A = this chain, B = another copy of it.
Amino acid sequence: MPRLITAFSNPLVKRVRSLREKKGRRTERLFLAEGLRILAEAEEAGRLPVYIFFAADSAGHPIVRRLVARVEAAGGEAIETDRDILHKLSGKDNPQAVVGVYEEFATDLAAIDRTSAGLWIVAQSLRDPGNLGTILRTGDATGAGGLILVDDCVDPFSVEAVRASMGALFTQRIALARWPDFVDWLRAGPGELVGTSLKATDDYQAPRYTPPLFLLVGNEAQGLPAEYEAECDRLVKMPMLGKADSLNAAVATAVMAYEVINQWRRAT
């Protein structure tokens, strides 16, 4: 039976509100996802929120009803509320009708089974939550196993990253690691590390890529540090026909990832 909350001062509202900041997420080990589409995607991936907030005027929506029932059956809590509270939780002028609060996932590199997928994306010092979410979405579309975040990346559980991932956060494995630990882990098993670099001489369509393939993408402004490039088994570049000399990091990742899976689907 959903609880009704309409007071801004409610302690749960305050607690959930704190999840918009990294500090709150680290304290609570919880994060926010908004909107029916993303909550349904999470459900399909086997993830239910521990709390689900929904607007009273959407209580009759069949997906809302199903989610509420499943959350309650799983021991979570459903909270009926109003648009003002949802606005406060989401920070958006035009809030989604539902907000879910999820437990953070484990992000240990050691828990990743590299044989479970042919392609893995590795991002270094990625700063933009939109790029991070977009890369997760591309990872889902290209059948990647997950995203390994190296060094100081933006928080994958931030509201903006979850939103940009359009639910792919729930279908992709996520690991956080320092570079030396990632390299140790990588070299302890099979796999090729492929980086993109403006300094590379090989065209990105020239190599025959083989799984497991680890696609390394660098920071938006700086690209990859020289020593990270030196660690790569291959450095490749995409053609740049214009006056500018780079692509958006999420775009470069996607162009590379599609080249890899296009090769693999031609081979079968």
Question: Which positions in A face B, CB cutoff 8 Å?
Answer: 41, 44-45, 130, 134, 137-143, 164, 166-168, 171, 205, 238-244, 246-248, 250-251, 254-255, 258, 261-262, 265
Chain B residues positioned under 8 Å from A139 (CB to CB): 242
Closest Cβ of chain B: how far from A252's Cβ, in Å? 8
Closest Cβ of chain B: how far from A239's Cβ, in Å? 7
Whether B205 lies near A244 (C-beta < 8 A) is no
* Minimal Cβ-Cβ distance residue in B for A221: B37
Closest Cβ of chain B: how far from A180's Cβ, in Å? 30
Whether B244 lies near A140 (C-beta < 8 A) is yes
Closest Cβ of chain B: how far from A241's Cβ, in Å? 3
Closest Cβ of chain B: how far from A159's Cβ, in Å? 16
Residue from A137, A167, A171, A258 with most neighbouring chain B CB atoms (10 Å)? A258
Name the contact of A251 in the complex, choosing from B44, B138, B243, B265 (C-beta under 8 A).
B138
14 A–B contacts from the bound complex (CB under 8 Å): A137-B251, A140-B242, A140-B244, A141-B242, A141-B247, A142-B239, A143-B241, A164-B248, A166-B244, A168-B243, A248-B254, A254-B254, A255-B258, A258-B258
When A134-B251, A255-B254, A255-B255 are in contact, do A243 and B164 touch as well, CB less than 8 Å? no
Whether A258 lies near B241 (C-beta < 8 A) is no
Whether A244 lies near B171 (C-beta < 8 A) is yes
Q: Report, nearest first, the 7 A-B pairs whose CB atoms are least far apart.
A: A143-B241, A140-B242, A251-B254, A134-B248, A140-B244, A171-B243, A255-B258
Chain B residues positioned under 8 Å from A134 (CB to CB): 248, 250-251
* Minimal Cβ-Cβ distance residue in B for A38: B244
Name the contact of A261 in the complex, choosing from B239, B248, B250 (C-beta under 8 A).
B239
Tell me the bound Cα distance from A168 to B245 in angstroms: 10
Whether A244 lies near B142 (C-beta < 8 A) is no
* Minimal Cβ-Cβ distance residue in B for A138: B251
Whether B250 lies near A140 (C-beta < 8 A) is no
Chain B residues positioned under 8 Å from A238 (CB to CB): 141, 258
* Minimal Cβ-Cβ distance residue in B for A249: B134
Tell me the bound Cα distance from A244 to B250 in angstroms: 17
Chain B residues positioned under 8 Å from A41 (CB to CB): 243-244
Whether B130 lies near A240 (C-beta < 8 A) is no
Whether B241 lies near A247 (C-beta < 8 A) is no
* Minimal Cβ-Cβ distance residue in B for A144: B242
Closest Cβ of chain B: how far from A112's Cβ, in Å? 17
Given contacts A130-B130, A168-B244, A255-B258, 17 further A-B pairs with CB under 8 A are A41-B244, A44-B243, A134-B248, A134-B250, A137-B248, A138-B248, A141-B239, A141-B240, A141-B244, A141-B247, A142-B242, A164-B248, A171-B242, A238-B258, A241-B261, A250-B250, A254-B254
